Amino acid sequence: MTNLLEPGPKLRRRYRAEKIFKRMGLSAIIASLCFVFFLFYTIISDGYSAFTQTYIEIEVSFNKDLFTDANISKADFPGLVKKSLLKMFPEVTKRQDKKLLYSLISPSAAYTMQELVEETPKLIGTTQKIWVLADDDVDMLIKGKYQRDVPESNRRLKDLQLKWIDRLTAEGMLEKKFNTTFFTSGDSREPELAGILGAAKGSLLTLLITLSLSFPIGVAAAVYLEEFAPANRWTDIIEVNINNLAAVPSIIFGLLGLAIFINFWGLPRSTPIVGGLVLTLMTLPTIIIAGRASLKSVPPSIREAALGIGASKMQTVTHHVLPLALPGMLTGTIIGMAQALGETAPLLMIGMVAFIVDVPGSFTDPSAVLPVQIYLWADSPERAFTEKTSAAIMILLAFLIAMNSLAVFLRKKFEIKW
Amino acid sequence: MELTANHASNAFPTMLSEEMLEEAEQSKTLATARKTVGTPFVDTPRMTCRDIQVFYGDKQAINKMSIDVASNEVLAMIGPSGCGKSTFLRCLNRMNDTVLSCRVTGEVKLDGTDIYHPSVDVVPLRARVGMVFQKPNPFPKSIYDNIAYGPKIHGLTKNKDELDEIIETSLIRAGLWDEVKDRLQDPGTGLSGGQQQRLCIARTIAVSPEVILMDEPCSALDPIATARVEELIAELRTQFSIVIVTHSMQQAARVSQRTAYFHLGDLIEVGATEKVFTNPLHQLTEDYITGRFG
Amino acid sequence: MKLKTIAAAGALSLLLCGPALAARDYISIVGSSTVYPFATVVAEQFGKTTGYKTPKIESTGSGGGFKLFCGGVGINHPDITNASRAIKSSEMEKCAENGVNDIVEVKIGYDGIVLAHSKSVAPLKLTRQEIFLALAKDVPDPKNPGKIIPNPYKTWNEINSNLPPTKIEVLGPPPTSGTRDAFVELAMETGADSFDVIKAMKKTDKEGYKALSQTVREDGAYVEAGENDNLIVQKLQANPAAVGIFGFSFLDQNSDVIQGSFIEDMPPTFEAIADGSYPVSRPLYFYVKKAHVDVIPGMKGYLDEFTSEKAWGEDGYLADKGLIPMPAAERKQYHENVAALKTLEMK
Ligand SMILES: Nc1ncnc2c1ncn2[C@@H]1O[C@H](COP(=O)(O)OP(=O)(O)OP(=O)(O)O)[C@@H](O)[C@H]1O
Ligand SMILES: [Mg+2]
């Protein structure tokens, strides 16, 4: 007779095992949460500063005699910037010091001037106060990423430059502002000019190709294999091969893409269309396998019910099986897409690991993608690219989160309650 | 010619010895068919089945069965679990086609047409020979859509009013109308087990089949719902033929005109229900209905 | 039905191939990752100041670059390849096989390879012989110089008592990297040559000499740190005993936290590398496909930009990025070569 009030030793042991199991599960979850938080913390604490950029206000007089040529772009804009700086610091006379002074301002200042004048030619003959980008070294100093207290010879910014920067700061002519450039331009070798838009758009275009090819092809293949294909040796061979393909290292797909799409079809290198095709090859097995698994999970009684009242095979699949399997298929697709979004190895082979400044406008413009941009920036010698790297990772994560939420939304929308 | 001879010989009860029975059970291959006793054939058949054999892979599940389904009759199939009732039933609308390992030989005719003929399309066949499954299997859609699906794919209605009417009559005949008339848009899977089964019956009769195959339709129903389904069966009989598998001998006795007794893949005895239950010809049938077997 | 699918497939492939048939309106550059940071600056400057599109630059490594470059003539092949070494005759042959006959070689400057370590300790002063002894797999036995033994040195002061007593721990590039090739050739081989035993082998046993002078030790004292030089810089900051090997531009950008070791009493400074007194430096190049110069828009402009004084001159913007300029005469020579599109002779 077991005592209901006093559990025996056997029962107690069972409960203990249960408790240990529960605790282990909980600590596993806590540990993984810790890693995720740590990851987010390091990335955000490294990268948040990239969203502001240091600007310096300079007073520019657009003298008429500078713009004698009818073609405005021929004017000496770098000279204009230099002149303005010298006017602000008249005490600088030595050649060496002048060079130091000029290096406070980003080389982009000249382009800024050019754009301004080209936009509103009326500026010619006036004097304007204009905020221009500071050099990345100045920016790093302002953001506290350079130490001031090391000997001058060991610093990228010399004592004289520090003095000027302090003066500018005190006069309110040096400020951190929101970094719009980061969101509106492509890659650059000047950290202060480098932006993520080119890579983000490249990723978007590439994934569009991948999604629009791999989803329909993957779903069609999964439906055919699962619902229509006769069970014979050929189907077995195809099945084994698809499973093997899912395990093939992604760089192989890059080699394949290089051989077929670029060398054989003659598609242009480094473009989203080739990248999309290569990533399609890579994600197809994932989508097919996930698709088949979710088709398998549809209970056979639903198929019988439909067939039993005289639905054809096709109607059974499209009216009943597919809607039930779709949420699972979407999940598989999103996993495939997320993989594709983070992939660089196969893109190396088809030339997408490249320095590309112009933001791609179409599927056949050369473009990079987000992970490639991260890789390239992480490998750049300039210190200021460190924060850009982290910021780019944040953008990539945002992309991922957006894609996942879309998947969750779609799944919720298509999910059929039992 | 052969058939008549067979028919004639079946008129006499053939008693099988216990040893033969055991032998057949041991071999499991059912190599030698047992002759069916009773009256498997009728004068005006709606469906005729001759020498039906069904194999699942190498395993034989049904051994040379021959039986007719008459017009306007309810044919009950009884027998111990696993004896092949469902398998046989599924031969009548070719549902076994969907089971990959399943192979059917023999001849099944619906109004004189061999339904296993290569040029026969299963889609209209299944519209004419409807089926209610052993386990309720409503679509994960609304109650309305569950019933509307059949008429829609077969193009039975011209407009929404006609469709609404079919849905209402089907639900009324299945005895579900009063329970669901206010929530036709609720999911069919949200109903109770018994309600789901009646929904499936309504779904089947909505396409007005000529023959309805019912596989234990009442196994999940309470006595009230069962009575309603039995009423429905009686009513449907005026237009259709019904083949019903049941484990309840009382039910078989209540609703059917003829009863077939299955045993381990063999059709042992077919006869008028009254006769089978009161005066069975075969020892096995008697054992079963008196509760000595199964 | 079938016809329709075939037609659709045809239309799709036409659609896909269409853009490839159109002309390319940007310069396509491939090649060395060492030259990449310099070439990209020029490309960007060129793109921003002219009406042309910014050239596209892939970082494929020198070898990979030549492979693509020599693939043929036509818009699907790159116009320029960057290299951290001169083209090999085997590569020239490959080029010629594919119809790439006229190649213009442009030397753009020098890159110093530095051994750097944390600022928190005194700078190392090394000779190339000591570098060899610290990093080779097998070295001559100090007690019996005729015999070759597995590298016995664990700390720097075992090699030379003037060096610190810290463990030998060098972070460097993997064998796939051009920096590693150059380092092995310029520092280790020269160091090995300072031993008569090894030098003698050069004539008698070429294979053995190569293996001895070029094989880096695998007992953990040399750590392959991957291609990311920024990572090495971070590790050096964390571990003052560690020494890292990378290109001068990384030292130049991080001079507040790390310092370069002296080699043969020369510090790795801009000036010392430029005048050739710092011994571990190598020339950098790019190669131009002459047949493309008049076909791809902007080629002439890009070449002009790269070989202009404001780019590769002593005060040019490339020097700001860490490229060590060539002497003025050499610059002039190459500028003229480029202007005349003087092609390489088959060796
Ligand atoms: N899909 C299948 N594959 C293999 N064997 C099957 C399959 N379906 C049924 N069988 C076998 O065929 C035989 C008859 O099964 P069937 O389902 O027709 O029995 P049943 O008479 O309906 O039993 P129950 O009264 O329990 O429903 C059983 O031995 C069963 O194991
Ligand atoms: Mg059954």
CA of B137 to the centre of ligand 2 (A): 15
Instruction: Provide CB contacts within 8 A for B151, sequence distance 6+.
Output: B157, B163, B166, B206, B207
Whole-number Å distance between alpha carbons of C271 and C252:
12
Q: Which pLDDT does position C224 carry in this prediction?
A: 87
Question: Cβ of C338 under 8 Å from any chain A Cβ?
Answer: no
- The correct CATH number of B3-289 out of 3.90.550.10, 3.40.50.300, 3.40.1170.20, 3.40.50.360 is 3.40.50.300
Query: Over 50: is that where the pLDDT of B223 sits?
Result: yes
**Residue type at position A81:** V
Q: What is the pLDDT of residues B238-288, one digit of tens each?
A: 888 999 999 999 999 999 999 999 998 899 999 999 999 998 888 888 888
Instruction: Check residue C266 and report its DSSP letter.
Output: B
- Contact (CB, 8 A) for B264 and B24: yes
Do B204 and A320 make contact, defined as CB atoms within 8 angstroms?
A: no
Q: What is the pLDDT of residues B113-143, one digit of tens each?
A: 999 998 999 999 999 999 999 888 999 999 9
Whole-number Å distance between alpha carbons of C187 and A367:
39
Longest distance between any two alpha carbons in chain B, whole Å: 64
Q: Which pLDDT does position B50 carry in this prediction?
A: 92
Pick from A370, A77, A203, A186: which is nearest to C53 by CA?
A186
Query: Over 50: is that where the pLDDT of C233 sits?
Result: yes
- Contact (CB, 8 A) for A322 and A406: no
Beta-bridge partner residues of A177: A53
Banded model confidence at residue B29, pLDDT cuts 50, 70, 90: very low
- The correct CATH number of A197-414 out of 3.30.70.20, 1.10.3720.10, 3.30.470.20, 3.40.190.290 is 1.10.3720.10
Helix axes A197-223, A322-341, angle to 10 degrees: 140
- Contact (CB, 8 A) for C272 and C323: no
- Contact (CB, 8 A) for C56 and A359: no
Please tell me the distance in Å from A27's CA to the nearest CA on chain C: 31
Q: Which helix (H) or strand (E) holds A369?
A: none
Query: What's phi and psi for A271, nearest 5 deg?
Result: -110, 155
- Closest ligand to the CA of A304: 1
Task: Tell me the C-alpha to C-alpha distance, in Å, between residue B165 and each of B148, B180, B201, C13.
Answer: 10, 15, 16, 53
Residue C239 CB burial class (10 angstroms; 0-12, 13-18, ≥19)? middle
Residue C183 CB burial class (10 angstroms; 0-12, 13-18, ≥19)? buried
- Residue of A304, A311, A417 lying closest to B137 (CB–CB): A304
Banded model confidence at residue C22, pLDDT cuts 50, 70, 90: low
Q: What is the pLDDT of residues B103-116, one digit of tens each?
A: 999 999 999 899 99
Banded model confidence at residue B293, pLDDT cuts 50, 70, 90: low
- Contact (CB, 8 A) for C183 and C171: no
- Calculate the CA dihedral of residues B141, B142, B147, B149 and round it to 10 degrees: -40
Query: What's phi and psi for B106, nearest 5 deg?
Result: 110, -165
Instruction: Check residue B187 and report its DSSP letter.
Output: B
Q: Which pLDDT does position C82 carry in this prediction?
A: 94
Please tell me the distance in Å from C59's CA to the nearest CA on chain A: 6
C-alpha angle A76-A79-A80 in degrees, rounded to nearest 5: 85
Q: Which pLDDT does position B134 carry in this prediction?
A: 85
Residues of chain A below pLDDT 70: 1-2, 417-418
Domain boundaries, chain B: 3-289
- Contact (CB, 8 A) for A156 and A146: yes
Q: Which pLDDT does position C227 carry in this prediction?
A: 66
Domain boundaries, chain A: 57-177, 197-414
- Closest ligand to the CA of B83: 1
CA of C134 to the centre of ligand 1 (A): 79
Task: Tell me the C-alpha to C-alpha distance, in Å, between residue C103 and each of A114, C92, C106.
Answer: 37, 9, 10
Q: Which pLDDT does position C54 carry in this prediction?
A: 92
Query: Over 80: is that where the pLDDT of C294 sits?
Result: yes
| Chain B residue closest in CA terms to A324 | B140
Which chains reach chain C with 3 or more Cβ–Cβ distances below 8 angstroms? Answer: A
B73-81 mean pLDDT: 93
CA gyration radius, chain B? 19
Question: Cβ of A144 under 8 Å from any chain C Cβ?
Answer: no
For A86, half-sphere exposure in the C-beta direction (CA atoms, 13 angstrom radius) is: 12
Query: Over 60: is that where the pLDDT of C7 sits?
Result: no
Task: Tell me the C-alpha to C-alpha distance, in Å, between residue B114 and each of B46, B106, B130, C54.
Answer: 12, 10, 17, 75
Residues in chain C, total: 347
Do B207 and A308 make contact, defined as CB atoms within 8 angstroms?
A: no
Banded model confidence at residue C346, pLDDT cuts 50, 70, 90: low
Helix (H, G, I), strand (E, B) or coil at A133: strand
Helix axes A272-296, A322-341, angle to 10 degrees: 140
Helix (H, G, I), strand (E, B) or coil at A150: coil
Banded model confidence at residue C14, pLDDT cuts 50, 70, 90: very low
Atom of ligand 1 nearest to the CA of B216: 27
Instruction: Provide CB contacts within 8 A for C142, sequence distance 6+.
Output: none
| Chain A residue closest in CA terms to B147 | A309
Query: Over 50: is that where the pLDDT of B7 sits?
Result: no
Q: Which domains does chain C carry?
A: 2-110+284-339 (3.40.190.10), 112-281 (3.40.190.10)
Beta-bridge partner residues of C260: C116
**Residue type at position C288:** V
Least confident piece of the model among A75-84, B194-203, C256-265: A75-84
Banded model confidence at residue C59, pLDDT cuts 50, 70, 90: confident
For B47, half-sphere exposure in the C-beta direction (CA atoms, 13 angstrom radius) is: 29
Q: Which pLDDT does position B31 carry in this prediction?
A: 39
Tokens coding A344: 């660089």
Query: Over 80: is that where the pLDDT of B181 sits?
Result: yes
Nearest-CA residue for atom 27 of ligand 1:
B81
Helix (H, G, I), strand (E, B) or coil at B101: coil
